[in-house]
Amino acid sequence: MQHIFVHESPLTFHLQNDALSYIIAILPGGLPAQLYCGRRIHDRADFSYLRGKAMPFSVALTMANDSIPEESMRLEYPCYGSSDYRQCAVSLLQENGSRLAVFAYDSYKILPGKPRLQSLPATYAEAPEEAATLVLRLRDRIAGALCELYYTVFSEGGALARSVRFVNEGAQTLSLERAMSLCLDLPDHDYEWISLNGAWARERTPAAARLTPGLQGVESLRGNSSHQNNPFLALRRPHATEHSGEVLGFSLVYSGNFLAQVQVDQNGFSRVLMGINPAWFSWEIKPGDSFQTPEAVMVYSDQGLNGMSRSFHRLYRTRLVRGPWRDAPRPILINNWEATEFDISEEVILKIAEKAKACGIEMFVLDDGWFGARRSDRAGLGDWVPAPEVLPDGIRGLSEKVTALGMKFGLWIEPEMVNPDSDLYRAHPDWILRIPDRRATLFRNQCVLDFSRPEVVDHIHGMLAKLLRESKISYIKWDMNRSITECFSAALPPHRQGEVFHRYILGVYALYERLISEFPDILFESCASGGGRFDPGMLYYAPQTWTSDDTDAYERLRIQYGTSLVYPISAMGSHVSAVPNLQTGRRVSLRMRADVAFFGTFGYELDLNTLTDEEQAAVARDTAFMKAHRQLIQFGDFYRLASPFEGNDAAWMVVGEDRAEAVVGWYHALHAVNTPARTLKLTGLNPDAVYTVSIPSGNGTAREIGAFYGDELMNVGVISRPDRPEVDDFLHPAGDFSSEIFLLKETRAE
Ligand code: DGJ
């Protein structure tokens, strides 16, 4: 249960839920200060002892000057320009050229539940008792600005959501140049900071380093949240592990340029800042207008990184994702991209779909190349009209034929982009982001449409809505295959070009919102050259994201492992693809390819007609297995057990909410010869329950290997690889890239 305790003198707010306490006090000058953020503690009438002692700039100054430097304080929403020299939360340009805003306490209100954020994705509460929101109203009367700090404390999972709203209450025009969503000053820096980094086809690799004095952080300036750095940061106590110890996780619900940063200052304090990247950002606020920042979510865990991840998973799965697909097991689909790339025809497509149907697959997804002059990536983007030479009966005809097979039909689009060789570009050459008199950089032969302009979004909406109305479409894969360059809008005056990056992403959100409200039953999957926009902002609109263009199962193990730090299994698009793998040339067994893809939305990315009969039978069995277990896998509690970044083996498991069932995946990169028995210790089970452990066998049934107490499975580790009769290190070595799935079912609770 969440609480917001208010103590009037000194004015103090204690936000508390099942795991966390977060305490703010208003200092004598009106600045809100951070007193405590950590494991839940009892409330008390006076927390003044937590204020700490003021640190002077120098002895001489302390003697001569009675003001306490702000840099010795832990502040909730600091501004540079007075005596806080650290990285700050806000910078507000006023007409006289000053950027200082002293946002001092004015009033507060407490709201049941959680208010929606205007035009931005955010977590939500369905019932008022799920959460409570504190709004701290701060004012700078000289600038004429109101700044509202929103803190929503969710009853469960140690989660706290923060955002900030500015209102221009004065007569002058203001310009925000920095407006972070979250600032948190912690009293020490005894942490490792963890981030998720990578590149195309190797997204979200975890990195960890000790906090050191000065700045450390990650960011994007690409216009999308990016393959390179994810809008996420965690602080872990040095001895914390996957399963125990304190972790603070920070995640930004935003898909554009971001900054996530920690600064360790002269006092050893750590300042965490998260929000829209202030570089190349500004936002004009006219008198009477307002600006809303994106939301940042913080979770506190005293159960290690897995505890942090479970809190993010649950919150994002149940209170960020929306619509009928939120709680529904995801359809098992087949996508033609890796099988055909642009070489498609209705005949080819239907052949793939028919075979997929025979194997029990539920949906066919037609990828790139079906529209306009799009016979390669050189032309056609922007012309969302089916190409008659590819699809004589259009998308409508094809979708009806696929539906007649007894499958759902899904379609690929890339609405934010245009090829210069397209009817759209020829009609509206000024609709792209481009700096006047400079060349527009082409990536993959395409330009970025200026989604900061409502008329551009309207036009694309018109084409897509027509298509969706006319055809039987159950799923959309919304791709985005390049980052932004030459960010400049022909529709804005010179002094407002700093708004374009943010306005662009607001345009993307607006189009999503329109489409999902008009077509609520369509399942959207977001994609950006694989996982270049795998962020919480996207999940508000699209319940799942294509995790990576790298479909090699061994690579996917790593990518999905890293992704699981923040994002739920139900959000991770994961497909079995052909061997040799398109990205790596590696040959991973069909068994392991499926065993990795099970821990995601599950589907196929190949032409099943090219498989042997035996392999097709395996596909049918794996599809049946996933249908039987996807509810548990996609909606249970996920735990990482062994990291593919640290050794030859990797393992993870999902446990049902009532702890009566579990599925374990254990993976081995290289085959090790003549090794001692390796055991796997599980977690998250009921220690007093007895579980039967079985291995799904090739014929679709499961072979029982024994019954064990939960405490044995968790502490002794009875799952042991060489104990299994069908894997004999000498007679039948498993070979490289092998894996096992174990099913656990509670039989008797004591
Ligand atoms: C990039 C995506 O990540 C792929 O899955 C595929 O849809 C291609 N784009 C199509 O152009």
The secondary structure of 94-128 as a DSSP string is: -TTS------EEEEEEEEES-PPPTTS-----SSG
Name the pTM for this structure.
Answer: 0.97
Provide the pLDDT for residue 723.
47
- For ligand 1, whether the C-beta of 71 sits within 6 Å is no
Domains of the chain: residue spans and CATH: 4-319 (2.70.98.60), 333-546 (3.20.20.70), 642-749 (2.60.40.1180)
Pick left, alpha or beta for residue 226 (phi over 0 → left; psi -120 to 50 → alpha; otherwise beta).
left
pLDDT digits (tens, 9 = 90+) for 109-122: 999 999 999 999 99
Adjacent-strand bridge partners of 145 = 140, 168
pLDDT digits (tens, 9 = 90+) for 244-297: 999 999 999 999 999 999 999 999 999 999 999 999 999 999 999 999 999 999
Predicted confidence (pLDDT) at residue 131 exceeds the cutoff of 70: yes
Atom 10, ligand 1: which residue's CA is nearest? 368
Question: Catalytic residue at 723?
Answer: no
CA of 636 to the centre of ligand 1 (A): 29
Residue environment code for 122-161, b if the CB has 16+ CB neighbours within 10 A, otherwise e:
bbbbeeeebbbbbbbbbbbeebbbbbbbbbbbbbbbbbbb
Question: Token pair of 37, please?
Answer: 């953020």
Question: Catalytic residue at 140?
Answer: no
Provide the pLDDT for residue 698.
65
Q: Give residue 582's Cα distance to chain centre.
A: 26
Give yes or no for a contact between 361 and 621, defined as CB atoms under 8 angstroms apart.
Answer: no
Give yes or no for a contact between 364 and 354, defined as CB atoms under 8 angstroms apart.
Answer: no
Burial of 598 (0-12, 13-18, 19+ CB in 10 A): buried
- For ligand 1, whether the C-beta of 412 sits within 6 Å is yes
Q: How far apart, in whole angstroms, are the C-alpha atoms of residue 247 and residue 161? A: 16
DSSP character for 531?
B
Q: Is the dihedral of CA 514, 517, 519, 524 positive or negative?
A: positive
Atom 1, ligand 1: which residue's CA is nearest? 529
Dihedral angle of Cα 137, 138, 142, 145, to the nearest 10 degrees: -50
- For ligand 1, whether the C-beta of 254 sits within 6 Å is no
Question: What is the amino acid identity at position 711?
Answer: D
Q: How many residues does the chain have?
A: 750
Pocket test for ligand 1, best of 341, 342, 368, 547 (most atoms within 8 A of CB): 368
What does the mean pLDDT of the chain come to?
A: 95
Predicted confidence (pLDDT) at residue 728 exceeds the cutoff of 60: no
Predicted confidence (pLDDT) at residue 381 exceeds the cutoff of 70: yes
Catalytic-role residue among 549, 595, 607, 649: 549
Cα–Cα distances in angstroms (integers) from residue 701 to residues 622, 624, 661, 697, 719, in the given order:
11, 11, 17, 6, 19
Predicted confidence (pLDDT) at residue 317 exceeds the cutoff of 80: yes
State the average pLDDT over residues 67-81.
92
